[in-house]
Copies of this chain bind each other. A is one copy, B any other.
Amino acid sequence: MAFLFILPTWPVAVWARAMRQAAPAMDVRAWPDGLGNIADIDYAAAWLPPPNVVRGLPNLKVLFSLGAGVDAILNDPTLPENVPIVRVNDPDLTGRMTEYVVLHVLLHHRQQRRIDANQRRKVWDSFPTHAATQMSVGIMGLGVMGQDSACRLRDLGFRVAGWSRTGKDIEGIESFAGAAGFDAFLARTDILVSLLPATPETDGIINSATISKLSHQGPFGAPIIINAGRGRQQVEADILAALESGALHAATLDVFQAEPLPPDSPLWTHPKVTVTPHVAADSDPEVICAYVARQIERYRQGLALENVVDRAHGY
């Protein structure tokens, strides 16, 4: 029984160590150097696997994604069709995403960047403020993470709505569904949070047209966006143009069209933009490997795998 990590862009030794700790009986290997006899390999975890590497494993039973987003795996056009893909859905990962979303919603809502700028100039300034009850937050993507963020923001007093493929029934959260509900969702939203999975349908969804449909009736007169989904969902030129024209008040971006964000991107230095280096929901190797080991144990006991990716929907 062997487990293979295929992580060409990640520190694979850290992950192998964590997996050996989580499953001491497992023969844990790392592609490319530690591949060994490929016939032994029952389980694998990948992030951005090169074409044919996964396909070349003849006895693979389950493929794991080490993050909530599975686009880095589904991008491999040679993926075997009949191997189930399991994505991580762990309270640790969900909690980290919620921390990020709540932090950045509050950072904008409480005008902390204005206070930061005042501190740099030693200015003790008072200005009109408003309560969370006056601010409408809209979350695109109401999976496990989106629902958790929505509930915590609701508990802080924000008016929260969610937009997802299918409507969701969550206490105190307004639900909008599909293409038909998109414009109404945007029209009531002062702070837009994207936690969408990367699928062809969501590519470029944060663009000029979307921004222009957001609420301009909120406390700041222009909306705010927070993207902790995937970079290909945002059109960075449109975001910059909207910040310049005043159609957008501010933005926090954790993901980008190109990562790492290139040094010549104007996003780095824009005074209205907070850039974070794709850390919203950092995977803790120990926690994630413990999750993977639990799923393998379930599988070996003949139980159904949890959080299996629906390839038709892309998440």
Contact = CB atoms under 8 A, between A and B. Distances in A.
A98 B279 contact: no
B98 A156 contact: yes
Interface stretch (A127-135, A169-177, A224-232): A127-135
A103 B156 CA distance: 11
A99 B282 contact: no
Interface stretch (A35-43, A48-56, A104-112): A104-112
Contact of A115 (B102, B110, B124, B276): B276
A146 to B, nearest CB: 16
A287 B129 CA distance: 12
B152 A279 contact: no
B124 A277 contact: yes
Interface string A150-177: 0010011100000000000000000000
Contact of A103 (B106, B119, B129, B263): B106
B95 A100 contact: no
Interface in A252-282: 259-261, 263, 268-269, 274-277, 279, 282
A109 B115 contact: no
Contacts of A130: 284
A245 interface: no
A96 interface: yes
B132 A99 contact: yes
Contact of A268 (B102, B119, B279): B119
Given A275-B119, A279-B129, A103 B112 contact: yes
Interface in A11-42: none
Interface string A84-128: 000000001001101110110011011010011011001011100
B131 A96 contact: yes
A255 B96 CA distance: 30
A95 B133 contact: yes
Contact of A96 (B95, B129, B274): B129
Nearest to A101: B106
Contacts of A274: 116, 119
A158 to B, nearest CB: 9
26 contacts: A92-B131, A92-B133, A95-B131, A95-B132, A95-B133, A98-B156, A99-B131, A99-B156, A100-B110, A102-B102, A102-B156, A103-B106, A107-B107, A118-B277, A119-B268, A122-B269, A124-B259, A124-B260, A124-B261, A125-B277, A126-B277, A129-B284, A130-B284, A131-B287, A152-B155, A152-B156
Top 10 nearest A-B pairs by Cβ distance?
A: A124-B260, A103-B106, A124-B277, A122-B268, A95-B157, A129-B282, A119-B275, A122-B263, A115-B276, A92-B131
Interface of A: 92, 95-96, 98-100, 102-103, 106-107, 109-110, 112, 115-116, 118-119, 122, 124-126, 129-133, 152, 155-157, 259-261, 263, 268-269, 274-277, 279, 282, 284, 287
